[in-house]
Amino acid sequence: MATNETENLLALLIEDDLDLAGTIADVLKIHGISCDHAYNGEAGLEFARQGYFDVIILDLTLPKMDGLTVCETLRREGIDRPVLMLTARDELSDKLAGFEAGTDDYLVKPFAFEELVVRLRALSGRRSAKAKIFEVADLQVDFARNIAKRGDRVLRLSPTAWKILGILSKHSPASVSREQLERGLWGDEPPESNSLNVHLYKLRQQIQRPAESEIICRDANGGYSLREKVDGE
């Protein structure tokens, strides 16, 4: 029987064991919790970036990107959804590594499904305190709340601009190639036009007014980086 405590609750489950994932989804449904599922770490990270979830259930050992890296990336990008990490490892060092990466709670396999539900209920009512707001120079970006400021100026960014900013901040201060940006925006089917140039131009216009320092830098390799430009470059 579903309860009012979890009515309309939405969880993201990132788990590569399909049998376990199916069972968890069925149990959560009984308790009134909707569940989206991602099979690997890269897909889970994209789900977490693009959708609204009250809580994220994250397996530690995943294909393509492990759970620690997924969690670290979410926190670095300012995504503050609470994370419950699932793992077969019960050593203290493994738990400490999970908390260091930004997880909020830890459940060792095998676990009682009732305990999972109780822990999700406890986590779902709060935002994680481990998410970080991205900052460079006087630019401050809160990806969880979609708020970006340059000094005291609030930036009005399009959904595509937010995606570009997210990709650049993830790699900052390193350079991101045009191919990486296009793949992050459009997957394996980028438009044939100069769409990327147009979106980058608009984003740079909004972030960099004439009197402000350059922080979206065009690099010698043809890529772009989000960093404070050094004098003389």
Pair of tokens at residue 122: 């406890």
pTM of the full structure: 0.54
Peptide bond into 82 cis (omega under 30): no
Q: In the predicted model, what is the mean pLDDT of residues 105-117?
A: 90
Q: Is residue 181 part of a domain?
A: yes
Domain that holds residue 35: 4-124
Rounded (to 5) percent helix, strand, coil in the chain: 40, 20, 40
Residues 10-35 as b/e (b if ≥16 CB within 10 A, e otherwise) read bbbbbbbeeeebeebbeebeebbbeb
Q: Is residue 53 part of a domain?
A: yes
Q: Which of 96, 124, 152 is the last residue of a domain?
A: 124
Q: What is the rounded distance in angstroms from the CA atom of residue 120 to the CA atom of residue 10?
A: 10
> How many contiguous H segments (helices) and E segments (strands) does the chain have?
8, 11
Residues 97 and 145 in one domain: no
Residues 66 and 90 in one domain: yes
Nearest to 169 by CA among 78, 41, 61, 43: 78
Specify the number of domains making up the chain.
2
Among 6-10, 15-19, 147-151, the least confident range: 6-10
Residues 120 and 11 in one domain: yes
> Could you report the per-residue pLDDT of 26-57, keeping only the tens digit for each?
999 998 888 999 999 999 998 888 767 889 99
DSSP string across 86-126: EES---HHHHHHHHHHT-SEEEESS--HHHHHHHHHHHHTS
Q: Is residue 207 part of a domain?
A: yes
